[in-house]
Structures are given as C-alpha cells and as structure tokens.
Amino acid sequence: MPSIRQNPYPDALPDFRNLGVTARALIVVNLLALAAALVSARGLAGMLDEFVLGAALIEPPLVASLVLLYAAAPWLLRMSYWKGCTVAIAVVLALTAATHAALAEFAAAGGLARALVIAAATAGAVLAYLRLHTKAHSPALAEARLQALQARIRPHFLFNSLNAVLGLIRSDPRRAERTLEDLADLFRALMSDSRSLVRLADEIALVERYAAIEQLRLGERLRMSWDLDNAPVDAMLPALVLQPLLENAVYHGVEPGTGTGDVLLRIVRHGERVQVLIENPWHEAGNGHRAGNHMALDNIRERLMLFFDDEARLETRVEGARYRVEIEIPYRSGAA
C-alpha cells in the first residue's frame, strides 16, 4: 500500500503579533529568571530579593523587545528563519544595552558583557522553545489526517455529484458542463497543499462552487442564505476551512430532512477579528451513519490553532432546531 506523501514543514519565525506567542515568551523568560534566582540565592527570602532585582533589569528590555518585534512582525515573517532569528536577537541585545546604561546604578555589579551574554542566551532559548512548540503542533501526522479527511470527502461527494451531472447531460448539457468545471475546480483545491494560508475571497469562490453542485443534486431541498456583504475578502485563513463545514451542514442538516433545509453562511469583520457562522437544521442522530464523527471539526480546529494559536476559536452548539458552527480568527490582510 503506498504511503501518504509527507512534506517537511519549513522553519518559520513565530508571529510576534500573536497573543499566545507573547504570553509564552513572557512566561519562559520569567521562569528562567526565577530558576536563576533559585540557584544563586540562599533561602527563600534571598531568592525573592534576587528575583525582584533580576526582574527590574529583565522586564524593561523584555517588554520593549516584544513591542518592537510586534511592530516589525510583517517584515520578520518575510525573512528566512535564521536571518529573522538574528534580527530578533539583535533587537534584544540593543534594548538590553540601553536598559543597562539607563540602570547603571543597579547593573554595575554584573557588567554589560555579562548582561548581553545572558540576554542572547535567553532570547535564543525562547526562540528555540517557540520553534519546538510550532513543530510539535505541526507534525507530518497532521498532514496525514487532513489527507485522510479529503479521501473521506471525495467518494461521498464525487459519486453523488456525477449522478446529478449524468441526469443533465441530455436535458441541459451546458449546465452539466459548468457543473463538471466546478467539480474540477473543487477537487483541484482538495488536492492542493492545504498547509498554506489563502485569501478569504478564494475560499468563498470555492464554497460557492460546492454549493452550486449540491444545489443541482438536492434541488429545492437545499436553500442557501449568503450573508457576505461585509466579509473581508482580503483576510487570510487556512485553506479548506469553509467547504468541509458546508459539506457537514448539507450532509447532517439537509439530507436527513424531508423538507427544505436552510443553510446560512455569514462572514463579517469586527475590528481586528473575522467571524464566520455556518448554521443548518439540527436532526437527532437516528443511526451511526447520520451521527458521523467530528473528524472535520477537529481537523479544522487543529489547523486554526496551528496558524493562529490561542487567537483562534471554533465553537459548536445547538440552538432550538438549528446547529451552529462559529469561527473567530484574527484579521490578517492578504492584500498585495
């Protein structure tokens, strides 16, 4: 049996605009300072004194570095990994030297050279930790799970769509041709590299093609409501987020019903956040087939966390007879 092709994930600097990255950097640096105080001090009181003194020297350059890296994040992310690390460490060293000069009265005992060595080692340790954290959450297994998800989508959707097209070939050949073109575009996207960010406009175009094919298959049983007037089409998000959710909405919300199933897709921007809502009819699971599993939701949640860390949110809930999937991600513009 051929194995799933595994692609190595390239090294990339962390996004210093991400709150999760900032929080982890603060925690790691302060834990290192606490460990140093614990090693060098005698007794609890001495350790607290050492930690407070160390914090007075560490916190100003640490906070200033994070603010500067936040501002420079768009440029840093365009650099190669090692060049970006060099720039980040240089920023830390420059701010450490400035702090040492400003607080010379307190820092004289340690010396500038010692402060710079400690700052460089600490910055390197933080960058190494963030790199390991990213790799731990983006192993080849994540790609394999996504490809397994795509393999599950293809047969179910492909056979139903081809049957619908066969019924149109004689009665409406032009519509059948358009549907096959939509189907080709959809499967081209399914087979593309899903580890990259794409523009929301492309995801919307893809999901509209998918909805057109399902509309052909289900006819009046599917009624789509699009609330996209305020959608930030230049926003960036992981590939193949909307289509699997819409497929779930049709498969679990529309197909089990006997009447018309209303499916809503709403995308809006509120400040620096992008909010997505997909809503469909809710049916109690009558058998294992309709109960399904949460593979698509779990996969999408994992990829949102991979790209946006703690700034991403995916929640599901049932309200009355409606099932709601809500996604919230930070707004990142992909405009040229």
pLDDT tens digits for 107-141? 545 577 888 888 889 999 999 888 887 776 655 44
Q: Cα separations (Å) of 121 from 74, 89, 128?
A: 25, 9, 10
Query: Residue 286: what pLDDT?
Result: 52
What pLDDT, on the 0 to 100 scale, is given for residue 46?
72
Handedness of CA 36, 38, 39, 43 (dihedral sign): positive
User: Domains plus CATH for the chain?
Assistant: 19-136 (no CATH), 140-330 (3.30.565.10)
Mapped onto helix, strand or coil, the DSSP state of residue 280 is strand
From start to end of 192-248, where are the E strands?
197-199, 222-227, 236-238
Give the three-class secondary structure for 5: coil
Share of the chain above pLDDT 90, in %: 22
Residues 6+ apart with CB under 8 A from 202: none
Q: Is 171 helix (H, G, I), strand (E, B) or coil?
A: coil
Number of residues assigned to the chain: 336
pLDDT for 146: 54
Mapping DSSP to helix (H, G, I), strand (E, B) and coil, where does residue 2 land?
Answer: coil
Residues 6+ apart with CB under 8 A from 87: 72, 76, 79
201/231 Cα distance (integer angstroms): 9
The whole-number average pLDDT for the span 152-157 is: 56
Q: Which residue has the higher pLDDT, 222 or 7?
A: 222
**Does the pLDDT value for residue 217 go beyond 60?**
yes
Q: How far apart are CA 305 and CA 54, in angstroms?
A: 34
Of residues 279 and 97, the one with the higher pLDDT is: 279
If we measure between CA atoms, which residue out of 275, 251, 276 comes closest to residue 264?
A: 276
Decide if pLDDT at 324 tops 50: yes
pLDDT at residue 255 greater than cutoff 80: yes
Computed over every residue of the chain, the mean pLDDT equals 80
Contact indicator for 16, 22 with CB cutoff of 8 Å = yes
Give me the pLDDT at residue 171, please.
76
Tell me if the pTM is above 0.85. no
Lowest mean pLDDT among 44-58, 196-210, 228-242: 44-58
pLDDT of residue 288: 45
pLDDT at 172: 77
Confidence tier at 7 by pLDDT (50, 70, 90): very low
What is the CB neighbour count within 10 angstroms for residue 39? 9
